[in-house]
Amino acid sequence: MKSYVELVTVPSRDNNSTLLMLHFDEKRYVFGQVAEGTQRMLGQNLVKMNRISDIFLSGKTEWSSTGGLTGLLLTMGDAKAIRDLERQQQLERKQAKYAMANPDGSMSNPYPPPPEPKGLTIHGGKNILSTMATTRNFVFRENSGINFHEYDFLEGSVVFKDDFVTVRPLRAFPRQGSSKMTVEENRLREIEDIDLGSREQLKNIVDAMWNGQPGSLQVGKDDEDYVISLVTRLKEDEQRQRNEKAGSSALPNKNHDRDIESESPPKRLKLNSDQTKGDEEPSWDGILEASETGRPIPEFSASRPLRRPWPATYTRSLPGTIPNTSAISYMISIAQVRGRFRPDIAKKLGVKPGPDFRILTDGGSVTLEDGTIIHSTQCLDPPRPVNGIAFLDIPDENFLESTIEEINAWKEERKNNKENCAVSLWVWVVGPNIETNKRLLDYIDTLDGQHMINSPTSPFQDMSLKDSAAQATRLNLLDNENFPLPCPGYSHPSGVPEPEPTDKDRILRARDSLLIDVHPTQGVQLAKLRPRFDYSLVQREAKTKFGDGRYWRAAKAAHEKIAKEATQRDPTPSAADEVELVTLGTGSSMPSKYRNVSATAVTVPGFGNILLDCGESTLNQLRRSYGQEKTAEFLKNMKILYISHLHADHHLGTIAVLKAWFLRMVDTSEDISKLYLIAPSKFLNFLEEYTQIENYGLRHINFISCDSLLIASQQHPDNKKREDSQRIEEILSALPLEKIETSRAVHCRGSFTVAFTFKQPTGFKLAYSGDTRPTNGFVEIGKDCTVLLHEATFDDELRDEALAKRHCTTSEAIQAGKDMGAKNLLLTHFSQRYPKLPNIRRQSSNGDDPLCDPFMETSEERGSTYIPRAKDIKVSEKRHDGPIVSKPDDENAMHIGFAFDMMRVKVKDFWKLESFIPALEELFKQEEKLDDELSEPNENLSKGQSQDKNRKGKKKEGPTPPQPTSKRQQDKLAKKLQRRGPPQSSN
Ligand SMILES: [Zn+2]
């Protein structure tokens, strides 16, 4: 039973969390903090998630250790759905083949359905169920097999045990000084042990979110009668539709069924009302709200879609709770290993060498010819104990003493039970500056085994997202201002070489991707260690090795072009010139290696900052873009946080950003009532519920709902809440804004497009699409904007998909810009199937090859290197019924740029972006090659060799990883997901 530990995430310049994976051949266990960005780092390090059976969360139940769970589990749930689907299809093919061969069915079917695959359990301390339940309005997966276990310490200690491990969670409480348990600590213990929430009710809600079944409804008492009659009708409608379509799309786990848009809503809802006006979609909530308040129920026309609610959303309010105070650590004991097989003893007992030996070695029993049964235990050496692992999470110094006491108590208990209490690896996950705490270091001195101290303040920090950092570093060669180096402001202690971990270290240096053997050998696997990220090395290689310097030459050509054009430009400055956009996340759906999910920072001089959408890990992206200090500065000046809609890829980073903003304000004791949060009204429910779990300063934030900013033609008099209209006046007078307008997006329920118009002298106008199909409303509010930030999820070949998933194609986005008369257009939110550069084809005005390669001839030979301008960008077009980008009438009408993560562009520099395109294409071509080489290193080997290699290289086992890393894998996953339908909660 071989086992080893893998460090998945460690504190670094761009991450603060620690996550460890314990590997056995058959199973994986994960311990630590699932912080925002975890799934992206798993993908970066090619960590396979499919065999994880249990995740043990450590520390306090706060967003800093749970913020990445929702994103990770959605991805894992989808990956499982794909595997289930493949397994099912494979089985069906086999069964069909068998049925053809045996038409009379006389033989028994050799292909019975496979057993249900084992699920995944998330274990955590108090409030883990409440935390998950707060997300019920934007998370739903059917049959994901994901379960949650919140520890209940009321009955004493909690133990998890299976064939491989015994896991004992320790619970530490904050304590001042090193005295014995204090009155305060005792009080905290008691408070935590009283079950403030109803755990059973929370468990049902969370189960319905992750494993919902038709009928598993959580209905609040007030809504019961109403809801049941309505749902019965909806279910009938759905069933009918399904019967009609039967056979055509009978996929298992079609979770988008839950989001089905019933075209024929129940007749009894056809009540008289003038509630729906403009583009307003009647919503389920509208119905429930109306039914409760006695207001007229919205009318549904046959063509209006009605979203069927997800089971867990029937619960309007959660049982109350308060923030937890304890921090969870783990003592992990590994099961004893079976003793060595003794052939001499087996022979003596009369067993013949051969297959029987194998059976006995594997722990089975054999029957001899004379009927004697020989058990394996008779011919094995006594079992050997394996030393355990400790995972200690100490959020701040106040938890240190209590944790030490808990460890000592655990040892005492093991000793008393005559169990092995030796630990070979101690992983200390500590808060800032605890790594030098004398009490901790003294205690470590008394312990055997190897230690690792993971602290956000330890020196020599690496980068976690090395590939994304490498891309940013290469882009930096193209332009220092538009593509800055990642994580600026960090300096290494000068003159001190960065030490590598070694086998002999008693205190190991934390490094992600570090593997440490637990059994049968022990120690560090140095050969597998990934090199540290090194800016200068990446840049050196980009100039020579990388694509034989082709990218570097293209970058230089772009520079020359820009320098030449600059001399011909009108130098008259405009007031909006210095407005800067930083595209923090430019991918859709889920984070990938090179593109994080939606977020864009806008800095308006004399005004402050706006953050447009806030996908998971936006705070980390801010740090990658601005560095630690400037991020604090950015947050201080953040005036508006805008959330366009409630898909997970647009808002999961909000709590972390707000908390960082709040802590920054508390730290500096500055006036803290200045941030306006503009979001769909439903988002406030989530934020309010979450304040019960953790204080992140919500009461200092001014909330304005997107609905209350709707343009007049879409406003209903009743919709404009009074408090909001006061706040709108307040925001406009507090900030130099002339107006903020929203218009309904055509995407999901409660989705919006927005436009901000600044007062003179700036006169800057910013329009942001969020996710949407093209709408007239957006063109109206975005009229004559300075900058249009528009989603272009799909390229034009995938127009059908754009229609089905309610997104825009590249040319639809460009058309919207032209219709508005936008001066600058920045395209973003690209489908992750284009991990790097969206598929654009260029067509020169003189009819040259549209896919001309600037390196086919040197620039001298050609006369000049062909570089396209916006007017030349022709979106690839297979169909002719869609919009075609033609040359704008006015050549300078609109500058178009493609966004990349961490790219920054000032309004005055938009014109430069077009010149970068040939170099960017070259860059991505080379990176794609590199990725394919890295992710499929065994492809050139023969099958036998490859398998052999797989056995040795632990990272290559298992089927398709859920996080696709190469273009090929991306495409494969995309195709599968496409067959399944839209992932509605994270797209
Ligand atoms: Zn969306």
Find out whether 524 and 424 touch, Cβ atoms under 8 Å. Answer: no
**What per-residue confidence (pLDDT) applies to 948?**
33
Give the pLDDT confidence of 473-517 residue by residue, as tens digits.
Answer: 999 998 999 999 888 766 554 455 666 777 777 888 888 888 999
CA distance 351 to 361: 12
CA of 338 from ligand 1 middle (Å) equals 52
Quote the ligand 1 centre to 773 CA distance (angstroms).
11
What's the CA-to-centroid distance between 803 and ligand 1, angstroms?
13
CA dist 82 and 73 (Å) reads 14
- Running DSSP on this structure, what letter comes out for residue 529? P
For ligand 1, the distance from its centroid to the CA atom of residue 67, given in whole angstroms, is 19
C-alpha 645 – ligand 1 centre gap (Å) = 7
What's the first-to-final CA gap in the chain, in angstroms? 41
Can you give the pLDDT at residue 917? Answer: 86
Q: Rounded to the nearest whole angstrom, what is the distance from the C-alpha of residue 372 to the centroid of ligand 1?
A: 68
309 and 364 part of one domain: no
Q: For position 707, what pLDDT does the model report?
A: 86
Q: Does residue 156 lie within any of the structural domains?
A: no
Write down the number of H helices and E strands in the chain: 27, 34
- Spacing, Cα 362 to ligand 1 middle (Å): 52
Residue 289 pLDDT grade (very low, low, confident, very high; cuts 50, 70, 90): very low
Least confident residue range of 225-234, 715-724, 782-791:
225-234
CB 76 within 8 A of CB 983: no
**710 DSSP 8-state letter:** B
Q: Is the pLDDT of residue 654 over 50?
A: yes
Residues 555 and 588 in one domain: no
For residue 133, is pLDDT > 80? yes
Would you say how long the chain is, in residues? Answer: 987
Higher pLDDT, 169 or 987: 169
Query: Ligand 1 centre and the CA of 772: distance in Å?
Result: 8
Judgement on whether residues 720 and 637 belong to the same structural domain of the protein: yes
Q: How far is the CA of 588 from the centre of ligand 1 (A)?
A: 8
Q: What is the mean pLDDT of residues 608-635?
A: 93
Tell me the residue range of the domain where 545 lies: 468-489+534-559
Reply yes or no on whether the pLDDT at 771 is more than 50: yes
The rounded distance, in Å, linking the Cα atoms of 190 and 168 is 20
Percentage of the chain modeled with pLDDT above 70: 74
Measured in angstroms, how far is the CA atom of residue 548 from the centroid of ligand 1?
Answer: 40
- Among candidates 454, 440, 444, which has minimal Cα distance to 35? 454
CA 747–ligand 1 middle distance (angstroms): 7
Confidence (pLDDT) at 248: 33
| pLDDT for residue 169 | 96
Specify the pLDDT at position 97: 83
CA of 598 to the centre of ligand 1 (A): 10
Cα(469) to ligand 1 centroid in Å equals 26
In a domain, 209, yes or no: no
- Structural contact between residues 846 and 929, judged by C-beta atoms closer than 8 angstroms: no
Distance 986 CA to ligand 1 centre (A): 7
Neighbours of 510 (CB within 10 A): 25
> What pLDDT shows up at residue 11?
92
Q: What pLDDT shows up at residue 910? A: 92
- Ligand 1 center to residue 44 CA distance, Å? 24
Q: DSSP 3-state assignment of 369?
A: coil
**Would you state the pLDDT for residue 822?**
93
pLDDT on residue 243:
56
- If phi > 0 it is left, if psi is from -120 to 50 it is alpha, else beta; for residue 215 that is left
> Token pair of 38, please?
């975890």
* Alpha-carbon 352 to chain mean position: 56
Q: At what angle do helices 224-245 and 284-293 cross, to 10 degrees?
A: 150
Looking at the structure, tell me whether residues 884 and 819 fall in a common domain.
Answer: yes
* Half-sphere exposure in the Cβ direction for 342 (13 Å, CA): 16
Closest among 245, 265, 263 to 254, alpha carbons compared: 245
CATH code of residue 599:
3.60.15.10
Does residue 313 carry a pLDDT above 70? yes
- Is the pLDDT confidence value at 961 over 50? no
Closest C-alpha among 406, 212, 219 to residue 316: 219
Task: Tell me how far the alpha carbon of residue 464 is from its chain's centroid.
Answer: 15
Q: How many other CB atoms sit within 10 Å of the CB of residue 951? A: 10
Least Cα distance to 741 among 687, 700, 787, 704 occurs for 704
Residue 532 carries which DSSP code?
Answer: P
Tell whether 767 is covered by a domain: yes
Two structure tokens written together for 151: 């520890």
Distances (CA, A) of 465 to 477, 591, 753, 876, 967: 19, 12, 31, 32, 18
| Residue 353 and residue 286 in one domain | no
DSSP assignment of 394-440 equals ESSGGGHHHHHHHHHHHHHHHHHTT----EEEEEEEE-TTGGG-HHH
Identify the H or E element spanning 729: helix 722-734
256 alpha carbon – ligand 1 mean position (Å): 14
User: Which residues sit opposite 32 in a β-bridge?
Assistant: 19, 57
- 829 Cα: distance to centroid of ligand 1 (angstroms): 10
Residues paired with residue 451 on neighbouring β-strands, in sequence order: 426, 507
DSSP state of 342: -
Q: Residues 298, 276: contact at Cβ < 8 Å?
A: yes
CA of 561 to the centre of ligand 1 (A): 37
Number of compact structural domains in the chain: 4
Instruction: Say yes or no: 538 and 644 in one domain.
Output: no
Return all residues near 96 (Cβ < 8 A) that are at least 6 apart. Answer: none
**Residues whose CB falls within 8 Å of the CB of residue 95, separated by 6 or more in sequence, listed in order:** 109, 111
Q: Are 835 and 689 within one domain?
A: yes
Assigned domain for 963 exists: no
The HSE-up count of residue 818 (CA atoms within 13 Å, CB side) is: 18
CA of 612 to the centre of ligand 1 (A): 14
Cα of 647 from ligand 1 centre, angstroms? 5
Residues 674 and 779 grouped into a single domain? yes
The pLDDT score that the predictor gives to residue 836 is 52
Please tell me whether the overall predicted TM-score, pTM, comes out greater than 0.85 for this model: no
Question: Does residue 868 sit in the same domain as residue 734?
Answer: yes
Q: Is residue 461 part of a domain?
A: no
The pLDDT score that the predictor gives to residue 956 is 33
Q: What's the CA gap between 599 and 612, in Å, rounded?
A: 6
751 C-alpha to center of ligand 1: Å?
8
| 190 C-alpha to ligand 1 centroid (Å) | 43
CA distance 330 to 30: 11
Compute the distance from residue 820 Cα to the ligand 1 centre, in Å. Answer: 22
In a domain, 178, yes or no: no
Q: Token pair for residue 322?
A: 């308060």
Query: What is the chain's mean pLDDT, rounded?
Result: 77
DSSP-derived secondary structure for 275-339: ---TTPPP-HHHHHHHHHHTPPPPP--TTS-EEPPPGGGG--SPPP------EEEEEEEEEEEPP
Cα of 140 to ligand 1 centre, how many Å? 15
Torsion angles phi and psi, residue 159, rounded to 5: -135, 135
Could you give the maximum distance between any two Cα atoms of the chain, in Å? Answer: 104
**Ligand 1 mean position to 39 CA, how many Å?**
19
pLDDT tens-digit series, residues 657-668: 999 999 888 877
Task: Tell me the chain's radius of gyration from C-alpha atoms.
Answer: 30
Q: Are residues 583 and 547 in the same domain?
A: no
- Is the same domain home to 474 and 615? no
Q: Could you tell me if residue 11 is inside a domain?
A: no
Query: How far is 52 from 30, CA to CA, in rounded Å?
Result: 7
**Separation of CA 89 and ligand 1 centre (Å):** 30
Find out whether 815 and 789 touch, Cβ atoms under 8 Å.
Answer: no
Same domain? 902 vs 822: yes
Give a yes or no: residue 457 inside a domain.
Answer: no
Classify 37 as helix, strand or coil: coil
Angstrom distance (rounded) from CA 842 to CA 178: 69
Output the CA 649–ligand 1 centroid distance in Å.
7
Selection from 590, 240, 158 nearest residue 410 by Cα: 158
Span of 162-171, 176-185, 264-273, 848-857 with lowest mean pLDDT: 848-857
Q: Which of 481, 459, 817 is nearest to 625 (CA)?
A: 481
pLDDT band of 217, cuts 50, 70, 90: very low
Residue type, 971: D
